[in-house]
Amino acid sequence: MFWREKPRGFCGPFQGCCVVCFGGGGGVFGFSAPLASSFAAAASAWARALRALASSLSRQQFLYFFPEPQWHGSLRPGVRAGSGTMTSCSHPYCTTPAVDGSNAGGVSSAPMPEPKVGDKAPDFALKSTSGETVSLGQFKGKKNVLIAFFPLAFTGVCTAENCAFSEDYSKFESKDTAVLPVSVDSTPTHNEFRAKHGMRHHILSDFKREASRAYGVLDEEKFFSRRAYFLVDKNGVLRWKHVEAELGHSRPNSELLAEIQKVAG
């Protein structure tokens, strides 16, 4: 049994059935009812053990072990997988909301406010596919920065958007602007994403959701960011922003380059 990032999801008993995936080829095998029942009981005990472990973790440890949206709450404390309902998480660092919209078991699920145009843009330091840690502050006095949050790698709109960034890379460079695409995916996922599509630009991993929270674009329920754009000038001031109302929407590069031209004067 194994975990796969592509396609997203967990192959195993947590889907409420007796089908499980083995090996790198993704083969599927069925079991007889008695064997499936025994397997489900063992898996349930394993899940309870993981929930107990999660309850003892520090905030940093919890975000390390339970950060990815692919978990869909199935192994988070107090959340039933495959039931179609969400219950409140008992862990103090879990942001999973209760059915009634409250979050009695954890921190508030209300999103942080977005920074306003004219404000100093929140700084961050994120791991890049270049192998370095990139901060917003390092561009101050040197380049404008377009921060482009996107939900998840390997999804249709996000792939098209990043391929477009790569194709127009020189156009952004000519306007003295660094494009920093950011998602909550891990750096290894980003590396594979870039390699598959031959992208020229690097991508930043907001694995702990700190940057997306600071910019008010983290969807606390889905645990990934909304698609959003923040244009920061050389003085570190936010000059333009746009947050998409729908995950399937995106801004064309022509519009982004036009906004950059306004900042460049």
Query: Measured between alpha carbons, how far is 19 from 190 in angstroms, rounded to an integer?
Result: 30
Question: β-pairing, 204-205 with 177-183?
Answer: parallel
Identity of the amino acid at 133: T
Looking at the DSSP assignment, which residues form a beta bridge with residue 21? 28
- Helices 187-197, 156-167: axis angle to 10 degrees equals 70
Query: Measured between alpha carbons, how far is 94 from 59 in angstroms, rounded to an integer?
Result: 9
Query: Measured between alpha carbons, how far is 88 from 86 in angstroms, rounded to an integer?
Result: 7
Q: Respond yes or no: is residue 17 known to be catalytic.
A: no
Looking at the DSSP assignment, which residues form a beta bridge with residue 242? 229
Helical H segments across 56-155, by residue range:
59-65
Q: Choosing from 21, 89, 94, 158, which is the catalytic residue?
A: 158
Pair 20, 35: CB distance under 8 Å: no
Residues with Cβ within 8 Å of 143's Cβ and at least 6 positions away in sequence, in order, are 176, 177, 178, 234
| Closest to 99 (Cα-Cα) out of 73, 128, 64 | 73
User: Nearest 5 degrees, angle CA 138-CA 254-CA 145?
Assistant: 5
Pair 15, 26: CB distance under 8 Å: no
User: Nearest 5 degrees, angle CA 136-CA 140-CA 143?
Assistant: 95
Catalytic residues: 158
